[in-house]
Structure 1
Amino acid sequence: MATTTSGAVPPPPTQADPYALRAEDTRPAPETFRGRLRKLGPGLILSAAVVGSGELITTTSLGAKAGFALLWLVIISTAVKVWVQMELARWTILTGRPALDGFRDIGPRIGRLSWINWLWIGMDFAKMFQRGGIIGGTAAACSILLPIHGGALSVASLTIWAVIVTAAAVLILQTGKYHVVERVEVIGITLKTVITVGLALALPLTAFGYGSADLAEGLSFQIPAGTVGIALAMFGITGVGADEMTTYTYWCLEKGYARWTGPDDGTEERARRAEGWLKVMRLDVGVSWVICTLCTLSFYTIGASVLHPQGLVPEGNDMITTLSHMYTDVLGPWAQYLFLAGAIAVLFSVTVASSASVPRLWTNTLGLLGVIDWHDLRARTRTIRILTWCLPPVWMCFFLWVQSPVLMVQIGGIGGGIFLLAVVIAVWRLRYTGVPPRFRANPWLTAALVISSAAIACLGVYAVLDTLGVTPGA
């Protein structure tokens, strides 16, 4: 071990704070496409979180109920949100501040927080149902695959497996390190994409094939009667939702995009460095969008092709059994085991992603409320670990109380859809208060953001009117 000239052992290097911008941490962004690919990561974590409950449960249920008629909504749902996500991430990289910190700048304030922060808190309580539903879906798949203390899907078996799933997710995340989350989720999203897209592409070779007429029906921009509720939930939960957009800013910070950009010292060097890391972020978002779109379309197509003709709609704890028909009816009874393994991988990776991200957001909220010092690395790390132990068991209890994964996921999806409107408002305000003109001069990105915001606003208004019992156009 090296010593100083006086013979004393030097202190160990301090841990780099991913939420602090220091000039000594800056580094130039890669200039080649291959170099940028090597710096991807936050979007892959986001893809693993997105391609789970929304796609496996809500999107497949929508396909089972509506057939191909709402295929267009799947495409719009995944396409329109990424521009808002990209805009919010740009603000974070340039300022070094996470989303919830920025939301507090959007008045009016209620106490120490903005109305958007309070709306996020309310939305997150709704999301607890969704996360509980994900734990329940994972437990149901495990219970069918290997019943414990009773038959498959018995109360005892579901309870034991829910405890095991929750404990496993918490234990995986005890280090609290970003790279642990990234590695787990990259493996998960790779398996999800290969299995799901492969099955969807193979359907035309089976008795449940689809053709050009089905696809044409799916692009007719209609909403069949009786599907509005689940369609709104799907728009809120598929693709990148409001909570994922918010979470993405934290992963960008922990990956290092903002830290490597460095504090704004007004120099041209810093501006060029920022432009380089923003290009990496946009590629990260683009790759994530492609993965989400492919998987979402695949889940919807499978539900529309296999479940809809048979009148099978996933409901209650029988959801997993119903969904397994997507594989067994195409490949044979043996494929139930393949489906169960895939379902466990899909849903468990979402549980891990949520168990990693939500404690960070709540820790930031406690910091904004003055309960802890968010800028104190030790206090922040300790609080994140405590919440990682405490929050997943709460979500599990929500499942054991409600015991309906589909309904629970839809509740979370509707809550996310409402919060999405607030995020759009925040993004436009932060764009003109925290992003220098140089970084918002691209007319194409601005046009895409305008279209994205308008689409989200229209769907949001439609959702509110539908909730109030008012039929638009009637």
Structure 2
Amino acid sequence: MADTTGNTGTPQDTRALHASDSPPRRSSWRHIGPGIVVAATGVGAGDLVATLIAGSNFGYTLLWAAVVGCLVKISLAEAAGRWHLSTGRTLFDGWAQLGRWTTYFFGVYVVVWGFVYGAAAMSSSALPLQALFPGVMELEGWGIACALVGLVFVWFNRYAVFEKVMTVLVGVMFVVTVYLAVRVAPHLGDAFAGLLPVLPDAPDSVLNTLGLIGGVGGTITLAAYGYWVNAKGWTDSGWMKVMRLDNRVAYLTTGVFVVAMLVVGAELLHSAGLAIASGDRGLIQLGDILEDRYGSATATFFLIGFFATSFTSLIGVWHGVSLMFADFVTRGRKQAAASRGEDFASGRPEKSWPFRAYLLWLTFPPMILLFQGQPFRLIIVYGVLGAAFMPFLALTLVRLLNSARTPREWRNGPLSNAMLVLAGLLFLVLAVKQIWDQPWAEFF
């Protein structure tokens, strides 16, 4: 099993190494950290655009769906963190106990997903920089620069530095989104009315609602949360209360981002009958609208927040998913060594060759897609695998946390089971829709 704590040895071994870092008697805000990281990584520019468009199309009607989405993500991240802390094992170690099919699925997923996501993250981070500094470089140049900065930063820094930088960038995101929400002068009565679970009177309103619930902050970073928990030095169930507070702070922060952007969509776009494009370029359009309405200073401030949102997702994935890939490879190497009757010593994952190999995979091959466009068939495979990952995560957590693999004290209760099953079914419906909508006729 791979060490995910940033120290030599397995998670069980690191308990001794972190003896001076004994769990506090009470959970405290000063201990939080991984939750900030998962919130910053999980909420990308695409999530903000989706929320803006929901506000633009339906006003405050779907505010309740955004709140429900945060509650669903709380249950998923809490379950991942609880598995790590209660068992001393990583999430991939748990998946591997469910059969070889999990290894095959994750292996294909993480390679294809990383290749396409790398290009998307570069482009998303480049867009606000190109708008802030017009004429300096082409979009591709900014994207490559962002990728290289992310590579160097993650390659040479430990988790503690990574967490501090993410916290600063989250602070920027928080200030910008809250400022915009206040700037557009929300109608509080309408906003509170949006907390009532009502579906908009529009075609496909159910699927639009489910998409908003499932889309914001719902990525592979939910699975990475347990790895960041261990990297923080939380290695056993004594940290459970702290982890749960940390997780709630994460999705309270996410909730603020979501509500603030929905307010902007409802007040600035819906009330004026304005529309923006889907995808990251919709935020560039929003910047132009803000400049026309409130001046260049507000537009510049927004673009800085846009960059913080995109770049935190980039370096968060560069770090968190590389930890998962290192665990994936290291577990296979341990099994091979054991079959030969040899011992296998794992060092710090952030210094391991699998971690750094995946960092390079996220950084250099995707640059090809910036110049050549995204290959059609690859995008279909990416869409299918991406759609399948969230139900895979939710339903495997249900199985792991209701079995003897988890100590009885930390197994799922009725509420946890209900939330995870709800999440699994929600993401399964969205996966079926996304797979159904793929242009399969053109694939063959």
TM-score by length of 1: 0.77
CA contact (8 A) 2:129 2:142 kept: yes
Separation in 1, partners of 2:318, 2:208: 26
Question: What is residue 394 of structure 2 aligned with on the other side?
Answer: 424
C-alpha distance 449-250 of structure 1, shift in aligned 2 (>3 A) = same
Describe the superposition over 1:95-127 as per-residue Cα deviations: whole angstroms up to 9, x where unpaired. 2222112111113x24xxx26x51573266346
Indicate conservation of the 8 Å contact 2:110/2:325, yes or no: no
Cα contact 1:103–1:426 (8 A) shared by 2: yes
Output the CA distance in 1 between the equivalents of 2:59 and 2:288.
Answer: 15
| Alignment partner of 1:122 is 2:116 | no
Q: Does 326-335 or 449-458 show the bigger shift?
A: 326-335
Any conservation in 2 of the 1:81–1:452 contact (CA below 8 Å)?
A: no
Partner of 2:25: 31
Residue of 128, 145, 170 corresponding to 2:151: 170
Q: Give the whole-Å Cα distance in 2 for the aligned partners of 1:401 and 1:236.
A: 31
Q: Distance in 2 between matches of 1:292 and 1:192?
A: 10
Number of residue pairs matched by the alignment? 415
C-alpha distance in 2 between matches for 1:249 and 1:125: 22
Match of 1:256 among 233, 241, 254: 233
Residue equivalent to 1:280? 242
Which residue in 1 is equivalent to 2:341?
Answer: none
| C-alpha contact (below 8 Å) 1:236/1:414 kept by paired residues | no
Equivalent position of 1:192 in the other structure: 173
Q: 290, 298, 304: which is aligned to 2:260?
A: 298
Equivalent residue, structure 2, for 1:357: 320
Q: Is the 8 A contact 1:29 1:277 kept in 2?
A: yes
Would the aligned equivalents of 2:62 and 2:198 in 1 still touch at CA under 8 Å?
A: yes
How far off its partner does 1:315 sit?
3.9
- Of stretches 446-455 and 177-186 in structure 1, the one that deviates more from structure 2 is 446-455
The counterpart of 1:376, out of the listed 328, 336, 346, is 346
Query: Retained in 2: the 8 A contact 1:139–1:162?
Result: yes
2:8 is equivalent to residue 17 of structure 1: yes
Name the Cα RMSD after superposition: 3.3
Tell me whether 1:145 sits opposite 2:132 in the alignment.
yes
Aligned to 1:4: none
Partners of 1:462 and 1:387 in 2: CA distance: 31
Q: Structure 2: give runs of 5+ residues left out of the alignment.
A: 1-5, 338-343, 438-444
Question: What's the CA shift for 1:250?
Answer: 0.9
Name the residue aligned to 1:237.
215
Partner of 1:448: 415
Cα distance in 1 for partners of 2:54, 2:116 equals: 19
Q: Which residue of 1 aligns with 2:440?
A: none
Deviations 1:70-98 (A, max 9, x none): 22221111112212321221121122222
Rate the CA distance shift 1:60–1:255 in 2: closer, same or farther, 3 A: same
Could you list the per-position Cα deviations for residues 273-317 of structure 1 after superposition, in whole angstroms to 9, with x for gaps in the alignment?
A: x3x311111111111121111111111221222123333222467
The answer to whether the 8 A contact 1:236-1:415 is kept is no
Report the CA distance between 1:456 and its aligned residue: 1.6
Cα distance in structure 1, aligned partners of 2:115 and 2:208: 18
Q: CA deviation at 1:57?
A: 2.8
C-alpha separation in 2, matches of 1:317 and 1:244: 19
Equivalent position SS for 1:248 = helix
Residues 428-437 or 64-73, more deviating: 64-73
AA of the residue aligned to 1:17: T
C-alpha separation between the residues in 2 aligned to 1:366 and 1:312?
45
Q: TM-score, with normalisation over the residues of structure 2? A: 0.82
> Does the C-alpha gap of structure 1 residues 320 and 245 become closer, same or farther in structure 2, counting only changes over 3 Å?
closer
- Corresponding residue for 1:225? 203
